[in-house]
């Protein structure tokens, strides 16, 4: 995260330095997974001049993140993408470094004690992702000789790997042409092309089609675009405080900026407070188990003496998810 350097080829993931901005390799078909692109090409897309502007911006402003370095393995990139789901980079960095120090290859994680895996995951959120990542490592060892497979269909067959992660690994680890769409990219496309402050609440076929149409035809340039537009959404075209004065698209036809940055439609959905929820209790229990390794029934019930049923419900779901083991004495990590 020390600023930028000249663009160069990279085997890193989508949140760091860019690939060459002006690659002249022949176009290759999009590796869009088992179902292919969801819609035929249409008239609305990011134009070539805007693509160039974003890639050039990233060559100067992209963060230097370790999963972007030339010597980083496809496995390290896959791990980073799983960790970064709904989790800020600043929280992921120390966990990713520790994870790669302990388990630099799928075989290392496949053989690791599950309790240690959950401890190392720490507070990245949704600890089931840590279990799925270990299952993924075992599948890679068992079915692919310990090497992360190529192609989105093969990647999506791995435990815990969905559409986004398969596309990201294809693009950033294997330098394939793939439609990579995360929350940041959705927001940049919604603003720059559609003139909307925010994308739809749920990822739609129309958004997938827009991203497909906007993807450059040349393979290396498509990788550079995916990296660059993702970073633009993370650093500049943010949800709450966009810095349009620093955005390369402001002067290159951003529809939302040209329209005067209209406000988003009101979100009338009711949101449940986190305090007092079963999700919060699950987090408290997992924190106790990571710290102590095990907890007695008295320790567990002390977490909420006013609502013991909440504690019991949370215990049952943690055991059902494979995150904890219960016996007569209490609860422990697997």
Q: What is the tens place of the pLDDT at every residue in 215-236?
A: 999 999 999 999 999 999 999 9
**Are residues 224 and 76 part of one domain?**
yes
- Strands 325-327, 294-296: pairing kind: unpaired
Specify if 146 maps to a domain.
yes
| CA-to-CA dists, residue 167 to 52, 164, 241, 245, 310, angstroms | 22, 5, 28, 31, 39
End-to-end CA distance of the chain: 36
Q: Which CATH number characterizes residue 132's domain?
A: 1.10.340.30
Find the Cα–Cα–Cα–Cα dihedral 297, 301, 302, 306, rounded to 10°.
-160
Q: What is the CA 312 to chain-centroid distance, rounded?
A: 32
User: Quick one: 86 and 222 in the same domain?
Assistant: yes
Q: Do 224 and 327 fall within a single domain?
A: no
> Which neighbouring-strand residues pair with 331?
295, 326
Asked if 309 and 227 sit in the same domain, the reply is no
Domain that holds residue 327: 278-332
* Alpha carbons 326 and 322: distance in angstroms, whole number: 10
- What's the pLDDT tens digit per position in 274-292? 788 888 898 898 899 998 8
Residues 222 and 294 placed together within one structural domain of the fold? no
Residues with pLDDT less than 70, the chain: 1-43, 267-272
Q: Do 160 and 86 belong to one domain?
A: yes
Residue 113 is classified by DSSP as -
| Distance, CA of 268 to chain centre | 27
81 is catalytic: yes
Question: 193: left (phi > 0), else alpha (psi -120 to 50), else beta?
Answer: alpha
Overall number of domains in the chain: 2
Instruction: Determine which one of 5, 60, 81, 163 is catalytic.
Output: 81
Cβ neighbors of 124 (< 8 A, separation 6 or more) are 83, 87, 91, 92, 95, 130
Same domain for 282 and 161, yes or no, is no
Domain assignment present for residue 191? The answer is no
Residue 267 lies in a domain: no
Rounded Cα–Cα distance for residues 17 and 233 (Å): 15
Q: Residue 126 falls within a domain, yes or no? A: yes
């Amino acid at each position: 995260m020390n600023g930028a350097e000249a663009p160069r080829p990279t085997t890193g993931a989508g949140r760091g330095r860019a690939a060459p901005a002006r690659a002249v390799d022949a176009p290759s078909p999009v590796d869009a997974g088992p179902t292919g692109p969801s819609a035929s090409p249409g008239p609305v897309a990011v134009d070539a001049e805007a693509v160039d502007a974003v890639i050039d911006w990233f060559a100067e402003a992209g963060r230097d993140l370790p999963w972007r370095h030339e010597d980083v393995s496809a496995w390290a990139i896959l791990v980073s993408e799983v960790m970064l789901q709904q989790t800020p980079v600043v929280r992921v960095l120390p966990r990713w470094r520790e994870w790669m120090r302990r388990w630099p290859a799928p075989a290392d994680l496949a053989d690791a004690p599950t309790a240690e895996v959950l401890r190392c995951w720490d507070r990245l959120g949704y600890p089931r992702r840590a279990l799925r990542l270990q299952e993924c490592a075992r599948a890679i060892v068992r079915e692919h000789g310990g090497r992360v497979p190529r192609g989105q269909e093969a990647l999506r067959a791995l435990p815990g790997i969905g559409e986004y992660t398969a596309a990201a690994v294809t693009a950033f680890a294997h330098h394939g042409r793939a439609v990579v769409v995360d929350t940041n990219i959705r927001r940049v496309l919604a603003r720059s092309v559609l003139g909307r402050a925010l994308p739809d609440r749920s990822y739609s076929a129309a958004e997938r089609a827009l991203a497909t149409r906007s993807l450059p035809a040349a393979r290396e340039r498509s990788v550079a675009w995916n990296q660059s537009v993702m970073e633009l959404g993370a650093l500049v075209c943010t949800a709450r405080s966009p810095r349009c004065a620093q955005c390369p698209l402001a002067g290159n036809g951003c529809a939302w900026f040209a329209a005067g940055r209209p406000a988003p439609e009101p979100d009338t959905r009711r949101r449940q407070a986190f305090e007092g929820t079963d999700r919060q209790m699950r987090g408290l229990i997992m924190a106790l188990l990571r710290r102590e390794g095990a907890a007695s029934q008295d320790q567990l019930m002390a977490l909420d003496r006013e609502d013991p049923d909440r504690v019991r419900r949370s215990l049952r779901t943690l055991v059902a998810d494979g995150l904890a083991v219960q016996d007569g004495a209490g609860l422990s990590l697997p």
